[in-house]
Amino acid sequence: MLAVIAFVVALGFGIVAPAIPVYARSFGVGTTAVGLAVSAFAFFRFVSAFGSGSFVERFGERVVLAAGLLVVAVTTGLAGLAPSFPLFLGLRAAGGVGSAMFTVSALSLLLRVTPPSHRGRAAATWQGGFILGGIAGPAAGGLLAELSPRLPFLIYAGFLLVAGSVTLLMLRTEAVPAPPGRLPAAAGPDLEPAPLPLLAALRTRAYLAALVANLGVGWVLFGVRNSLVPLYVTEELGRTVAWAGAGLLAGSAAQALGLLRAGRLADTWGRRPALVLGAALATGSTAILVLPPVLWAFLVSMAVFGLAASFLGSAPAALVGDISPARGGRVVAVFQMAADLGAIVGPLAAGWLTDAVSYQAAFAATTVVLAAGLVAALALPRRKTARP
C-alpha cells in the first residue's frame, strides 16, 4: 500500500512539475522568482523534516502520513487558484511541510513493520513506486499545462486526497513487539520499544554511512542530474535537449530494472556489500564525466548511475531500519534530511564550480561526495546486518 501511495504522489508531482515555471511566469515575475517557486518547496521540506519526525514519534505514522498528504493536497489545490504570486509562493512553501510529513512517516512505517530479512526489498518496492510515478507524470503534465497551467495543480490535489483516503482506510498497523532483550525502560504498555535516541544512532558507523550515502543520492539524483546535466549536454556536448532526456531516461530505466534485484541482494548478501557496490558504481559513473566530453560516455554514465541508485535506494534505508527497529521518527527524519540537503547544496555548488572553472570540476566535486559514501560503506563491519 505504501508503494501504491508513493506512485500516486510521484505521479501527481510529475504532472505538476512542468506547470510550475509556466504558472509562476503567468504572474509576470522574472526567472529568479520562478526558481524561488521551485526551491521554496524543497527548502521548507528540509527545515520541517525533523519536526515531522517528532510528530511521528508522538502521534504515530498513520496519522502524520494522512495529515501530510492532506496538507499538500489543500495547499496544491489552493495554489492552482492563487490570485497572486506571493500567495502562490506561500502555498508552495506550506506544501513542502506536508511533503516532509508524508515522506518521514511513510519510510518510518515501512521500516518498522518490515522484518529485517525483507527490509531491502521493501525499501526497493517503495522507491519503485516513486520512480514509476515520476516517469509517467511529466508527460501527462506537459499536455495538461498546455490546456491550462492551473489544471495540473487541481489534478494533483485530487490524487493526494485519494492517497490520503487510502492511508486512513487501508493502513491499519498493529504494534510491533520488541525483539527479546531490547525493550527499553521507556517502552509503552503495548510492548513496542521506545524510539532510538538520535544521538545513539549518530554514534553508529552504520547510521553515519547511511547518512553519507543518502547525501550523495540527493546531491546527484535530485540535484545535479536535473540542474546541470541538461546544460552539459547542450553546451559541452553540443547536442539537443532530447539527448539529455535520453540520458535521464536511461538512468531511470536502469534504476527501475535494478531496484528489486538490488533490494534482494541487500537482504541476502548483507547491507555492507550492497552499499559498497552501489557507492562504487555511483562514484565511477560521475568520474566518467570528469573525462573529456563524449556522448557515449555520458549515456553510459547515466545508465551506470541509475543502476547504482537502485542499490543506494534500498541498502541505506535497510541499514536505518536495522539500527532503529522501533518507531524511528527523528532517526528517519535526519536520514531524509541528508538527501534533501544534497538536493539543495548540490546544484548550487556544482553551478558555481561550472561558472568559475568548468563542468569537469563540478563533476569532480560530485565524485568526491559519492566517494565519501564509498569510504563510509567500506568502514562498516563485515556482517549481514548492522545494529548498534
Q: What residue segments make up the domains of the chain, in order of their start?
A: 2-170, 198-378
The DSSP secondary structure of 20-32, one letter per residue, reads HHHHHHTTT--HH
Contact 71, 167 (CB under 8 A): no
pLDDT for residue 232: 87
Contact 66, 74 (CB under 8 A): no
Measuring CA to CA, which residue among 251, 235, 214 is closest to residue 362? 235
pLDDT for residue 159: 82
Backbone conformation region of residue 250, classed left if phi is above 0, alpha if psi is from -120 to 50, else beta? alpha
The DSSP secondary structure of 167-189, one letter per residue, reads HHHH--PPPPPPPTT---TT--T
pLDDT for residue 289: 92
Q: Which residues of the chain carry a pLDDT beneath 70?
A: 18, 31-32, 35, 135-143, 145, 172-195, 325-328, 383-388
What is the residue-averaged pLDDT of the chain?
Answer: 83
CATH class name, domain 2-170: mainly alpha
**Grid cell locating 127:** 522507491
pLDDT for residue 208: 94
Do 2-170 and 198-378 share a fold?
yes
Residues 8-59 pLDDT 10s: 888 877 778 767 777 887 888 776 677 677 778 878 888 999 899 889 888 8
pLDDT for residue 141: 65
pLDDT for residue 167: 76
The topology (CATH level 3) of 198-378 is: Growth Hormone; Chain: A; (1.20.1250)
Query: What pTM did the predictor assign?
Result: 0.80
